[in-house]
Amino acid sequence: MTAPDQTPSPFASTPTTLAGRRRENVARAVLAILTALLVIPLVAILGLLVINGAPALTLDFLFQSPSAGMTAGGIFPAIVGTLWLVGVSLLIAAPIGILAAIYLNEYARESWMTRIIHLAIVNLAGVPSIVHALFGVGAFVLFLGFGTSILSASLTLAVMTLPVIIASTKEALASVPMSFREACWVLGASRWQTIRYVVLPNSIQGILTGVILQVSRAAGETAPIMFTGAAFYLPFLPRSVYDQCMALSMHLFTLSTQVPNVPKAMPYATALVLLGLVMAVNLSSIVLRSYLRSRRKW
Amino acid sequence: MTPPPVPGRPPVARGRSVVSRAVERLIEVLIRACGFSAIFFVFAILVFVVGSGAEFIVHRLSIPQFLFSTEWVPTSLGEKRYGTLALIIGTVSVTSLAMAIAVPFGLGAAVFVSEFTTGRRKEILKVVIELLAAIPSVVWGFIGLVLINPLIIAVFHAPIGLNVLNGGIILGLMSVPIIVSIGEDALKAVPDSYREASLAMGASRWQTVTKVLIPAARNGLLAAVLLGVARAIGETIAVLMATGHAVQIPHSPLDSVRTLTATIAAELGESARGSDHYQALFAIGVLLFLLTFAVNLTADLMVRGRKGNQ
């Protein structure tokens, strides 16, 4: 029997492992700092907008039209316009996107065709927003003759958000266990009945989460709507999808680059409203998602 | 109560009217049609963007001039010139600077979030990254105007703060969330058995990251960077507001430039429909489409390649 202190423990630190541990600590610290630095711009931007914009953020600002060459008044038409654009684009993109995802996840088999569809989705998602704008001008404004209108702008936004809706819906559908479908088929249900009564009810909230996220993207875009339907200045509210409209994003662009003598707080307050809207939608989607994950039954 | 199925007959056929089956057939046709919508729209974009500039591109545009001349003078009274080299270099310079910022931050954060955090902290960091990704580009542009512009003027004593540096910082921050989330996916896709094997050999976590995980996830990480590049190339409104609108080849990060995307956004509204100028802008659109198409395709092939290997 030897005393434990006479033979070194095989797990004792050697200079090599100590150096390794030191290096690991340095690396971890550097990575942590890099990551923490990413929080700074988010906090800085929010802080800057709140400090400079909040004083101007009155009910009058939210519910009045711009006046005096956009140097006074509020942003009500821009808020309403953004709601129009987001709503109509969602009405177009959500059904097509969800059905496309159903096809890809429930009907299509792995083949060269689904591979091409996948490539198309990836590339559609990667098309620059200004190219979407050119497409919108060429296809909807001119070719289909919708003119510069809410309809043209919404269609352009819809094409832009489509690939992401497809991808997120597909993920939600794929999260429904295969055994659910098999159980349903065994009972004699057809493919569509299975989707309608088993797959969709079990994934609808996940689908909604993805769709909600696209609301925030559509609300924030400027380039695709600039030439297809968003007006610089339109003091009245749109009455149909064939009217032009103002939009928050476009209004912020106009205020900060095109209009002279704008009171300093106005663009800040506009940016704050836009960012607040987008963040609220995003956060609700994140909260919904974590809630769903916590109560998932399988 | 539906009667029990008659033995020997498929139960599927029972209790379903012809109408309901016709409706089902119709829905399935619709689903199939929508399944191909992505292909349809990619082709439609190509057709309409190319089509709107085709007459000019085919008959009057000299491709060498378009690609290699630095003179973009679409509205001169004399000879109009449509050289995009200065715009291409504008895009390249802003994008490279953006990547110089976004790659270390993005990949560093991806490794940190994926390998060095767990539980609640990981969730919070992911939410922060997601919120960063949600900031609209026009708000970034506004930040470039009101925050980074005066900052650059104060720090570098530059005459104007709307330049390559400003655009690079903003595009960098905009690309980081994409690089983090795709990069994290790539690291997550490396099987845990790789990590366990490495740790069991006595390697530290950091050694595992550098010697095992990064080589194993190399393609996915490269794809993450490429998608960040594609985002930076395609970004429009933020660079329009932050890079200062000067068609020139920059000699330092403090020079103003104009990118391909910003040129379209700035000039489409003021060019007469169908004019050479208008069609030249669509030609730039084609160039952008092909550029991002190539980058995205490469990124996708890299991700696929990785999946195929394992």
B28–chain A nearest CA distance, Å: 7
Using a CB-CB cut-off of 8 Å, the residues of chain A touching B207 are: 20, 24
B156–chain A nearest CA distance, Å: 20
Residues sharing a CB contact under 8 Å with residue A3, sequence separation 6 or more, in sequence order: none
Q: What is the mean pLDDT of residues A183-203?
A: 90
Q: DSSP secondary-structure letter at B244?
A: B
CB A35 within 8 A of CB B125: yes
B154 three-state secondary structure: helix
Residues sharing a CB contact under 8 Å with residue A218, sequence separation 6 or more, in sequence order: A85, A86, A89, A90, A157, A160, A161
Using CA atoms, how far residue B258 sits from A27, A38, A158, B53, B229, in Å, is 38, 27, 28, 21, 17
The pLDDT tens digits of the residues spanning B88-107 come to 999 999 999 999 999 999 99
DSSP string computed for A140-162: IIIIS---SSHHHHHHHHHHHHH
Residue A158 confidence class, pLDDT cut points 50, 70, 90: very high
Judge whether residue A180 has pLDDT over 60: yes
Q: What is the mean pLDDT of residues B108-122?
A: 90
Judge whether residue A128 has pLDDT over 50: yes
Torsion sign over Cα B257, B279, B237, A207: negative
Q: DSSP secondary-structure letter at A260?
A: T
The conformational region for residue B72 under phi > 0 = left, psi -120 to 50 = alpha, else beta, is beta
Strand partners, A67: A72
Do the Cβ atoms of A31 and B109 come within 8 Å?
yes
**Nearest in space to A215 (alpha carbons), one of A150, A131, A137, A279:** A279
pLDDT greater at residue A218 or residue A3: A218
Using a CB-CB cut-off of 8 Å, the residues of chain B touching A17 are: 202, 204
Residues sharing a CB contact under 8 Å with residue B262, sequence separation 6 or more, in sequence order: B90, B236, B239, B240, B243, B245
The Cα–Cα gap between B223 and B300 comes to 7
B136–chain A nearest CA distance, Å: 5
Judge whether residue A152 has pLDDT over 70: yes
Average pLDDT of chain B?
87
Q: What percent of chain B has pLDDT over 70?
A: 93
DSSP string computed for B185-233: HHHHTS-HHHHHHHHHTT--HHHHIIIIIHHHTHHHHHHHHHHHHHHHH
Dihedral pair phi/psi, residue A149, rounded to 5°: -150, 170
Do the Cβ atoms of A102 and B31 come within 8 Å?
yes
The Cα–Cα gap between B161 and B139 comes to 17
Judge whether residue A54 has pLDDT over 70: yes
With CA atoms as reference, the chain B residue closest to A271 would be B139
The pLDDT tens digits of the residues spanning A63-75 come to 887 777 777 788 8
Chain A to chain B Cβ contacts (< 8 Å): 267
**Across B8-22, B26-40, B75-89, least confident range:** B8-22
- Degrees (nearest 5) of the Cα angle A245, A249, A255? 90
List the structure tokens of B275.
Answer: 């004019």
Nearest CB neighbour to B233, from listed A99, A128, A162: A128
A230 three-state secondary structure: strand
Strand partners, A107: none
Q: What is the mean pLDDT of residues A137-161?
A: 93
Strand partners, A72: A67
Judge whether residue A250 has pLDDT over 60: yes
Q: Is A200 exposed, middle or buried (0-12, 13-18, 19+ CB in 10 A)?
A: middle
Nearest CB neighbour to A124, from listed B34, B38, B127: B38
Q: What is the mean pLDDT of residues A26-42?
A: 87
The Cα–Cα gap between B196 and A210 comes to 34
Dihedral pair phi/psi, residue B91, rounded to 5°: -60, -45
Query: Does residue A280 sit at the B interface (CB-CB below 8 Å)?
Result: no
